Structure 1
């Protein structure tokens, strides 16, 4: 047995812990919601991507159960081998119609959607221009493509234009601009309208990852591009956040693009089909999100975000600016972020400290996330706990 390897793994874990970068695994003994059970007691949950509060919604749960009762646990293989269930087609049609696209393709995870979009569509003659703060899945997806790669500073339109000029000068056949619709670590909303203008000027395509936008940002929750009032060529997204909170990803695009992806996208061809229970829950979540109830939930979500942001700023915390329900509380030091999260859990608030490599060194934080399911009383209680912990640890 090669013990040197295992000794090296142990040493690396010890080094991670010494730097205060260990990410603890906390076990939840309840459904996802504004209040969850951790370590035998109920605590306020302020770190889930449960934007519309649908992850534990009984209608969403029962829709998933009903789908599993009809279709079973799954297809036991990939779709082109064991077949596509009717519910897969129903979900593809539902998400495409909801977001205003011709067609959609499902993936086992949103990571797979971003991992599968570039390689089949763009070759060595093409160029991908990617935002520097894009999600890791976009970065990995770009790496799989043989296309030329360019990176522009986060939401910096002058730098984006410079990279577009460079790609055009290099003779790129097709150029695609890839960006998060909302950047998950900072809560910044992408400047999709300005990207659209540059894309039109330089005849580029646009791909937007709307995992942190679909369901709640823009009219009817259609996403960041709708929020900015423009159209894009490709949208990738997830059913694991606002639209039910389970898992699974998708790409929405023109029909011929989806047809090619179903022939060539490796994560689609070599991963099991999305579980029927996930499809059923996601369909119900889309039904809720796209209707009048969805409008009410979105109104409540952004009211909650505004209340929390205002109170935390008044208490003296350093917050990143924005309007998104992701509200990062900046602390700087990784160990301080872990200590703050641990103290808040003692005070009855469940949050997580974010540090390198999830965020850059020196930018450790607690990324709080608002939900439409939170009440004002819960938000005020969370602010009070943050204030107490912040004073104890010398943050404010």
Structure 2
């Protein structure tokens, strides 16, 4: 048997298992005029003409790509300006750009943790945080979701010299928010650093849009990770903290050192988006109005909506086939929502992950709610 045949058999077996489980995922090209309630462009800035113009001008001025890693020749003045602006926005001494949020989380955990480090992670943390812990080789424990008492119990039992507590800020599949005050207090009580990945909170939460950590300084939250491809509408990520942390990551975070820098046009677009977020709170206000309106409409239908007050609004349908059927019916109406199944969420916790944007209109939301109501009515007529 040829080597390629051995490998093809292995891949075919994995595919067959996933297909039999009815969990084979498909990419889809979004048809024009589809109403998108699945993306993370929470403030609609990906489509803002000012952000688009800044990206075009950035490409003309600095080139389409950086051409090298930050430590070779790819760190341009536009990157430096963006890092300074992100540090100021988040109230930190310094910030460091990464190409993606996944790479930021891998880089931080790989650079800070080793086999002598104890990591403590919320059970519902994003996959990138779990993978970063594995890559680091650190001893890792999972505390119950948003459970400060369980975290304290685990920390008290640890004899490690270096302890790192890690949590999402806004949990991407549930839409609920970490209890930052409790996490910070418990971490400080046990001489542990706290790392918050606020990918889904930055730009959305807080009076100034600086996320769920707004009001908490580097003493409370020494490590802050944020992404730029959600509320800011562009791409990439950053880590913010004090100068000692950022210097260390610059030297030791492999996913920073050994990759090409963010395209300068993206940095230019992000700077413009950041300016809009800071100067125009009406985008956040409109988004919050949409969230409140959507929740009122869906609760009137008595549908199983999760207790979330962020743009992430999960409809907890439980059954995987039911979830896929509802998503397909909405798609037939030109409405796209996320159909989330295991292994992304636990068994029995399949859901429609509905996300709202300031770019939506009340009539868009009415159209979505009517689609959900139609699914409900059809299910009542023809129960499984």
Matches within 5 A, 1:132-211: 132-167=123-158, 170=159, 172-211=160-199
Displacement of 1:143 in angstroms is: 1.4
Pair 1:94 & 2:85 matched: yes
**Separation in 2 of the partners of 1:344 and 1:227?**
40
Displacement of 1:288 in angstroms is: 0.5
Would you say the 8 A contact 2:169–2:200 is kept in 1?
yes
User: Gapped runs of 5+ residues in structure 2?
Assistant: none
Match of 1:239 among 221, 228, 232: 228
The structure 1 segments of at least 4 consecutive aligned residues displaced by more than 6 Å after TM superposition are: 227-230
Would you say the 8 A contact 1:19–1:335 is kept in 2?
no
RMSD, aligned α-carbons: 1.8
**Separation in 1 of the partners of 2:374 and 2:6?**
46
Distance 1:371 1:227, change over 3 A: farther
Distance 1:18 1:340, change over 3 A: farther
Match of 2:285 among 283, 288, 299: 299
Displacement of 1:381 in angstroms is: 1.2
Displacement of 1:328 in angstroms is: 0.4
Pair 1:58 & 2:34 matched: no
Displacement of 1:280 in angstroms is: 1.1
When normalised by structure 2's length, the TM-score is 0.94
**Separation in 1 of the partners of 2:164 and 2:17?**
40
SS in 2 for 1:55: helix
Match of 1:330 among 293, 297, 316: 316
Pair 1:3 & 2:32 matched: no
Distance 1:353 1:256, change over 3 A: same
**Separation in 2 of the partners of 1:227 and 1:252?**
15
SS in 2 for 1:74: coil
Displacement of 1:123 in angstroms is: 3.4
Give the equivalent residue in structure 2 for 1:17.
Answer: 19
Match of 2:28 among 5, 12, 26: 26
Pair 1:108 & 2:99 matched: yes
Displacement of 1:17 in angstroms is: 2.8
Match of 2:349 among 363, 374, 377: 363
Pair 1:69 & 2:56 matched: no
SS in 2 for 1:177: strand
SS in 2 for 1:316: coil
Distance 1:112 1:304, change over 3 A: same
Give the equivalent residue in structure 2 for 1:32.
Answer: none
Would you say the 8 A contact 2:284–2:358 is kept in 1?
yes
SS in 1 for 2:347: coil
**Separation in 2 of the partners of 1:339 and 1:227?**
43
Displacement of 1:10 in angstroms is: 2.8
**Separation in 2 of the partners of 1:184 and 1:196?**
21
User: Gapped runs of 5+ residues in structure 1?
Assistant: 29-37
Matches within 5 A, 1:228-267: 231-244=220-233, 246-267=234-255
SS in 2 for 1:200: helix
SS in 2 for 1:225: coil
Would you say the 8 A contact 1:338–1:352 is kept in 2?
no
Question: What is the count of residue pairs matched by the alignment?
Answer: 379
Pair 1:339 & 2:328 matched: no
1:274-312, CA deviations, whole angstroms, 9 ceiling, x for partnerless residues?
A: 011211111111001112x1x111111111011111211
**Separation in 1 of the partners of 2:157 and 2:192?**
13
Q: Please, which moves more after superposition, 179-188 or 5-14?
A: 5-14
Q: Please, which moves more after superposition, 8-17 or 142-151?
A: 8-17
Match of 2:109 among 118, 126, 130: 118
